[in-house]
Structure 1
């Protein structure tokens, strides 16, 4: 039978798009449980790929030995510490939650106020007058809301098993990507080139640079500040130092800085009367709090030559929009868009004509060609 119509076959186009869409949705449905783990593995492998290449050269060029070394390194530096931190977070939060829920919270005595010259006695008496007048009632009113908040955090502990499963899958996917990294990279670049020619290839390369810049500049800086701040908390005798270290690392990741945890710790030390260690923690906090001003720009420049404001905006916006994985998605999207837009703009030369001459030519053109109403 001859096809008498050789133009656009609209039903064929509609059904083709329909079945392609169904196939894409079905594929995503099947791999949906592994998307988060694979995304984390991709970020880790891209960020640490140069290190893996160096280790491979040291191990006589053997990729298998390099993959084993990187797997052990990820296990020792990434998987085990995170597992211990999460476990410690759950264990350390249990006594705090129990104390808050049971209503045993008491206002501090602040005995050290008596030692303040000239005004110490008045401050001490005024503070205890405030406690006697409304401190207990205030704590009683706050107590129900604190209990609801702690109940929420207790409920989140149920996701610990799922989190550990994602960590295990991330390690497995990382091994596979380390083993076949070049082939995977060429495949992604080939697909991007098929979609958008050289611009697509450039977008993939820029995404890799942005991921490496975020991993070096944001994550490493947050880990360094958090660990150093946690060391200061442990030395000065702050209770639940491990729990506070985790909170400090997260605070640094969201760009709030370590002082959101260190300043309350300093205040608690002064309240407890341990002024010597409080002063030590003040000095240490000044060092830790200003470390990111030096370390973060230097590490970001090592990963990619991108504006610092662009990276930080992407980190904060990505965290708000996508959660923890947005820590990498946000900067990647902004960095790729920024670079592609910059390349597109610079494809033409910068205008060098006198602005006044350009305006006069535009006015003459409008006078010679009046609009017809």
Structure 2
């Protein structure tokens, strides 16, 4: 009876925590990732609460702040563009631009024969506006999750060691096994965060170089925006290079637009799929293919939190199987 009551209460506790899993996941991930700066602050201040508070403020200023500012700017730009399509002003500008480029105008006329471009543009604008309204409606929840994340981050920095010790004490395994499991879990979180930031930096740099070579104005700024959006799977670099490609096309630079689309799809867009599993798999002590599906499956199940939870679940499962079957997942070496 006591066992059933305990299981029921555990399920209820998980149900209570479920709405805040994204915030808790990223607060734990950030707490693990900023351990070195936090320890430096702790050595300088000798006051754990002050060091944890300063660490949380730094995360808010250096990570959360720029992301929120960039997303706000993107949203404001979208809301400015949508009325231009619904009013027909953008269509008139496009038509005037095409008339100044006869070859491009002829090509598009043949490709869109029988289509009402203005009506299609209005329909697309209405669709985009509906999506943006949905995003705006969910912004309150996003801000709430970020506030909870920062609040939890403070306590994970302050009491991280005690929490890890408490977690290790309830695991039904030896001290060495629990210590090794917690080490692997910490390594998985660090690998996920550092891997995501590294890939985002590479994508932003490559995108900025491509923009500069194609003569796109403010290439550095667009590359930075691409790097920030690359950390968000639901957004991605497509939101940057696709509008720029459309701008180049409508400006008469057909070849440049085609080059940018090709680079965006096959170079920028494939960097994370190719490099991320390789970067993460070494730290996870896991095969690259397993890391690849761990990340993709985690994002599919948990959303953006899957970048951390996917590899973490795989590493934990692998380590538990190794405890039960000590010889599992260890490939014997052969002598030549």
TM-score of the superposition, structure 1-length normalised?
0.68
- Give matches, 1:1-373, under 5 Å: 15-57=1-43, 59=44, 62-106=47-91, 107=94, 109-110=97-98, 123-124=103-104, 126-127=106-107, 129-130=109-110, 133-135=113-115, 137-141=116-120, 143-144=122-123, 146-192=125-171, 194=172, 199-222=177-200, 225-226=203-204, 229=207, 236-237=216-217, 249-251=228-230, 253-254=232-233, 258=237, 261-262=240-241, 265-266=244-245, 268-273=247-252, 296=276, 300=280, 303-341=283-321, 344=325, 346=327
Seen in structure 2, the aligned counterparts of structure 1 residues 349 and 335 have a Cα distance that, compared at 3 Å, is closer
Q: Deviations over 1:88-141 (max 9, x none)?
A: 233122112223334444255447866xxxxxxxx4463264378435x14524
Q: Using the alignment, how far apart are the partners of 1:201 and 1:63 within structure 2?
A: 24
For the structure 1 residues 253 and 310, does the alpha-carbon distance in structure 2 shift closer, same or farther, using more than 3 Å as the test?
farther
Residue 25 to residue 74, structure 1, CA distance change in 2 (3 Å): same
* Deviation at residue 163 of structure 1 after TM alignment: 1.4
Residues 8-54 of structure 1 show CA distances to partners (whole Å, capped at 9, x for unaligned) of xxxxxxx3344223322343344455443222211111122233224
SS of corresponding position for 1:38: helix
Partner-residue secondary structure (3-state), 1:134: coil
Q: Distance in 1 between matches of 2:315 and 2:104?
A: 55
Aligned residues: 325
Counterpart residue number, 1:362 = none
SS in 1 for 2:138: helix
Residue 183 of structure 1: how far off its partner (Å): 0.8
Please state whether the residue corresponding to 1:40 is helix, strand or coil: helix
Shift in CA distance, 110/142, structure 1 to aligned 2, threshold 3 Å: closer
Report if aligned partners of 1:210, 1:332 keep a CA contact under 8 Å in 2: yes
Larger radius of gyration: 1
Distance in 1 (alpha carbons) for counterparts of 2:128 and 2:164: 45
CA apart distance, 1:155: 2.2
How many Å apart are 1:216 and its aligned residue?
A: 0.3
Provide closer, same or farther for how the CA distance between residues 127 and 278 of structure 1 changes in structure 2, counting only shifts above 3 A. Answer: closer
Over 3 Å counting, the alpha-carbon distance change for 1:128 and 1:236 in structure 2 is closer
Aligned partners of 2:167, 2:183: CA distance in 1, in Å? 10
> How far 1:329 moved relative to its partner?
0.9
Q: Is the 8 A contact 2:84 2:90 kept in 1?
A: yes
3-state SS in 2 of match to 1:236: coil
TM-aligned CA distance change 1:204 to 1:125, over 3 Å: closer
Inter-CA distance 83–102: structure 2 relative to 1 (3 Å threshold): same
Q: Per-residue deviation at 1:79?
A: 2.2
- Residues 189-246 of structure 1, C-alpha deviations (whole Å, 9 max, x = no match): 2222x3677555433322211111010012442255347747976993379x77x976
Structure 1 segments unaligned to the other structure (5+ residues): 1-14, 115-122, 353-373
